[in-house]
Amino acid sequence: MLSTFYIWYGIIIRAMIDISKKITAFSFLAALVIFSVTFYPTKAQTASGQSSAITLSVSPQTPQPGENVNLTLSSYSLNLDTSKITWYVDGVAGAENIGQKTFTTQAKNSGESTAIRAVVEGTDGSTNEVDQEINPAGIDLILEPTGYVPPFYKGKPLFVSQGSVRLIAIPNVTENGTLVDSSNLIFQWKENGTILESSSGLGQDSVIINGTVPTEDITMDVSIIDSSGTTVAETSKIISASQPKILFYEDNPLYGELFNKAITTSGYYLGQKEEVDIDAEPYFFTVATNDNSNLNYQWSMNGNSIDTTGGKINQLVLRQTTANLAGTASISLDINDLAQIFQYTSADFSVNFGQ
């Protein structure tokens, strides 16, 4: 009985060893297949039409309507310089040449996409292709500086040192042919490269910024982000500060201030008038009125200071006190804002009096 037990025990052990060898061999073959797939990829294209062998880059990534778009092919595994490359725009061949790695096209209007396809034919007969869709979107950036301008002024104020300006972004973004409202878009504002967190967010299509001290150019960037988190449009604007300006006008007792005709540096002819009122208008200063208490007017005639106490601070009264006397006098004015020390300017004109 004991010998029979040992015989069956040996048979079972050999069977187990054979099974173990077969399992090991199968595992080795499976590992070999996995290794082959991992380190020796095929040249098959992905389902989207993109080839893993080539990469297509677009500049700018968010083109504006009508803007030129530069496309560039690159590859780590293919020799593009010796390959035949054909570029298609909306299915029509736009360029075809050996080593044609770059191509330029023009973005369409907002809401109109352009289909780009690049086909690469290698010297070994292999073919790879990559697709790209160009969807232009634009931003119109409007600047609204704050500052004083006189009545009937047809323009808008200029941005001056230590002034403030409101920027309004008007998006031109479409989805499925419909213009997207600003309230459904995310706006990201940057001032000199720094994100303005409190002014950025959903529907935040405007921002107010103030001039720097000392006076420097301000670079403003705005990006529009859709609901999926994709940047669909962006633009930038460099804002430079201008100097305030002084213009002089006659204040006529009958018609009032004659804004239709400024007094130029060539002078004002007083003639035989006994008296005339000249008003100064401080364009673009950060004040609401021309007689604001922050504005300091310093009038002078022929280099001598003139005391205008008791009258309008922005007005100079010219009188002829000597009869039959003719000549020319030089009138100058300096204005500075006591609250904004970088807002100052000066101007002058000449007065011709007598015959």
In the numeric block, the tokens 């107010």 are attached to: 208
Residues near 236 by beta carbon (within 8 Å), at least 6 away in sequence? 219, 220, 221, 222
Characterize 145-184 residue by residue with b for buried, 16 or more Cβ atoms within 10 angstroms of its Cβ, and e for exposed: bbbbbeeeeeeebbbbbbbebebebebbbbeeeeebebee
CATH number, domain 245-353, options 3.30.450.70, 2.60.40.10, 3.90.1150.10, 2.40.100.10: 2.60.40.10
pLDDT of residue 12: 45
pLDDT of residue 145: 95
Cβ pair 100, 118 in contact under 8 A:
no
In angstroms, the first-to-last Cα distance of the chain is 155
Q: Is 314 exposed, middle or buried (0-12, 13-18, 19+ CB in 10 A)?
A: buried
pLDDT of residue 51: 58
> pLDDT of 159-218, one tens digit each?
999 999 999 999 988 877 788 899 999 999 999 999 999 999 999 999 999 988 878 899
343 vs 164: CA distance, rounded Å:
12
Do domains 55-134 and 245-353 share one topology? The answer is yes
Helix, strand, coil percentages for the chain (3-state, nearest 5): 15, 45, 40
CATH number, domain 55-134, options 1.20.120.1770, 2.40.110.10, 3.10.450.50, 2.60.40.10: 2.60.40.10
Mark the ranges of the chain whose per-residue pLDDT is less than 50.
1-13, 15-17, 19-49
The structural domains of the chain, with segments of one domain joined by +, span 55-134, 138-239, 245-353
> pLDDT of 7-32, one tens digit each?
444 444 454 445 444 444 444 333 33
CATH topology of domain 138-239: Immunoglobulin-like (2.60.40)
262 vs 166: CA distance, rounded Å:
29
